[in-house]
Amino acid sequence: MENIFYKQLLENNKEWVQSKLDLDPDFFNKLAHGQQPPVLWIGCADSRVPANEIIGAQPGEVFVHRNIANMVIHSDMNMLSVLDYAVNALKVKHVIVCGHYGCGGIAAAMGNQHIGIIDNWIRHIKDVYRFHNKELDAIENQKKRFNRFVELNVVEQVFDLAKTSIVQNAWENKQPLHIHGWVYGIDSGLIKDLNVNFKSNDELDEVYQLKF
Ligand code: CO
């Protein structure tokens, strides 16, 4: 059964190529010349949140980084490399952190179960809970508390983006760069914009503001 599914993926690929060529015989030739995506997407690795598909973006339009619970961890060399390349080489205009309701990473952070090495990744999400524990603990309904935690985690990751030397340096150089926080509803397909739009580091606590 699994073997059939695996083979089907390759068949799907052939059909997809043909469907693209039917619409535009130059589709892949154009992409081969390079990329200039206007957007960097930082999303969850969850299989139900495919970046391009849910925003109707074509190949070449979105630079994508995904990890468990869409985290922006400033010592994560993978994330930093993607961010640096997107901002400084590709000159993206927007960075979107997109979380999603029902996120397993956030659920794990609300609990105490030991899972494995991932516990250490989840720890960063627990920090977000601690920053907002008054607001979260006051929400009695567990689902509502879970949903709010998802949102607060996205907001915190947007702040963490703004704190990076990469983003602050871009703003210092007057590079147009907007950063946003979104939450995707797995049960609705709809995205909610949390309106945490950042355009400069003035909005950060002073201790994080870098002087160049
Ligand atoms: Co998730």
Computed from CA positions of residues 199, 205, 208, 211, in that sequence, does the dihedral angle turn out positive or negative? positive
Contacts of 59 (CB under 8 A, 6+ apart): 31, 52
- pTM of this structure: 0.95
What pLDDT is stored for residue 203 in this prediction? 86
What pLDDT is stored for residue 148 in this prediction? 98
Q: How far is the CA of 31 from the centre of ligand 1 (A)?
A: 30
Give me the domains of the chain, ranges plus CATH numbers.
Answer: 35-201 (3.40.1050.10)
Burial of 66 per CB tally in 10 Å (0-12, 13-18, 19+): middle
Measured CA distances, 33 to 117, 147, 179 (Å) = 40, 42, 27
Q: How far apart are CA 136 and CA 91, in angstroms?
A: 37
Confidence of residue 1 (pLDDT cuts 50, 70, 90): low
Q: How far is the CA of 59 from the centre of ligand 1 (A)?
A: 23
Q: Which residues are part of the catalytic machinery?
A: 44, 46, 48, 100, 103
Q: How far apart are CA 152 and CA 145, in angstroms?
A: 10
Confidence of residue 201 (pLDDT cuts 50, 70, 90): confident
Reply yes or no on whether the pLDDT at 204 is more than 70. yes
Q: How many CA atoms lie within 13 A of 124 on its CB side?
A: 20
User: Tens digit of pLDDT for each residue in 47-83?
Assistant: 999 999 999 999 999 999 999 999 999 999 999 999 9
Confidence of residue 3 (pLDDT cuts 50, 70, 90): confident
Q: How far is the CA of 150 from the centre of ligand 1 (A)?
A: 9
Helix 165-172 and helix 77-84, axial crossing angle in degrees, nearest 10: 20
